[in-house]
Amino acid sequence: MSADDDMAWLEALAGRAGMPLEGDAVSHGGEVREATALRELIRTQRPDPEFPSVPAVDPVRENELIARARAAGLLRGSPAIPVRRPWMLRGGLAAAAVLVLAVGITLLRTVPQNTETLRGGGTAYLRTGDPVALKRELAEELRAAGAHVTGFERLGRPGIDVELPQPPTPEVRRILARYHLPVPADGELTVEFEPTGQP
């Protein structure tokens, strides 16, 4: 079969076989007759029966199949599929909310209220509602962590000079981070405490 024969066969199968030219009837007659007969055979076939559409998920059908499988002994020893009940979901959400609230309260209690850090001139400034109490609290924590702390008062403002252990211990770093204080490279830190609202 040549390429022309193939084209004649395909055209006849597609129903586009036109009037053969002179000499074509002889050369392509068999192919055209064969393709035309095949086309008619295909057209006489009945279409496939239409099947009703089946939903992707059918809980009733799934339960029937599971019941039949259990009755047939196919699911013997299989663990039951856990069913999530609405009250279980609500309970889980409530537990998560309580946990978030507890963590939030813990974080709020560890950070001193009304404090603000200002840096400049080698001295850190903390603004708070009670400068004396915050000075005492920070000094005690730093001493307990191994730092040498000396208290002072300058122009009516309480303050501390701190010599940190070198290198600073993780506990000292945690304390400084909690109060938003820098970790000085030379281990020397000066902190002054100002009352809130002071310019």
Res 15: pLDDT: 80
Is 165 a domain residue? yes
Is 71 a domain residue? no
Res 121: pLDDT: 45
Mean pLDDT of 30-47: 83
Is 123 a domain residue? yes
Tokens coding 140:
């005690």
CA angle, corner 177, sides to 175 and 181, nearest 5? 95
Nearest CA among 14, 19, 7 for reference residue 39? 14
Is 109 a domain residue? no
Model confidence at 174, pLDDT cuts 50, 70, 90, reads very high
- Number of domains present in the structure of the chain: 2
Is 50 a domain residue? no
In the predicted structure, residue 82 carries a pLDDT above the cut 70 = no
Model confidence at 154, pLDDT cuts 50, 70, 90, reads confident
Non-local (6+) Cβ contacts of 124 within 8 A are 117, 118, 181, 182, 189, 190, 191, 192
Is 131 a domain residue? yes
Mean pLDDT of 100-129: 64
Percent pLDDT > 70 in the chain is 73
Q: What is the pTM of this model?
A: 0.39
Query: Are the C-beta atoms of 195 and 126 separated by less than 8 Å?
Result: no
Mean pLDDT of 68-74: 85
Average pLDDT, rounded, for the chain: 77
- Report the range of poorest mean pLDDT among 44-53, 154-163, 171-180: 44-53
Q: How far apart are the first and last CA of the chain?
A: 101
In the predicted structure, residue 16 carries a pLDDT above the cut 70 = yes
Structure letter (DSSP) for residue 77: T
Res 22: pLDDT: 44
Inter-CA distances, 54 with 44, 51, 65, 172, Å: 29, 9, 15, 68
Mean pLDDT of 4-17: 80
Q: Is residue 126 classed as helix, strand or coil in its secondary structure?
A: strand
Is 102 a domain residue? no
Range of the domain at 11: 3-17+27-44
In the predicted structure, residue 116 carries a pLDDT above the cut 50 = no
Whether residue 165 has a cis bond before it, omega within 30° of 0:
no
Query: Are the C-beta atoms of 162 and 175 separated by less than 8 Å?
Result: no
Non-local (6+) Cβ contacts of 71 within 8 A are none
Mean pLDDT of 8-30: 65
Between 99 and 192, the higher pLDDT residue: 192
Between 61 and 158, the higher pLDDT residue: 158
In the predicted structure, residue 24 carries a pLDDT above the cut 60 = no
Is 73 a domain residue? no
Tokens coding 157:
């403002």
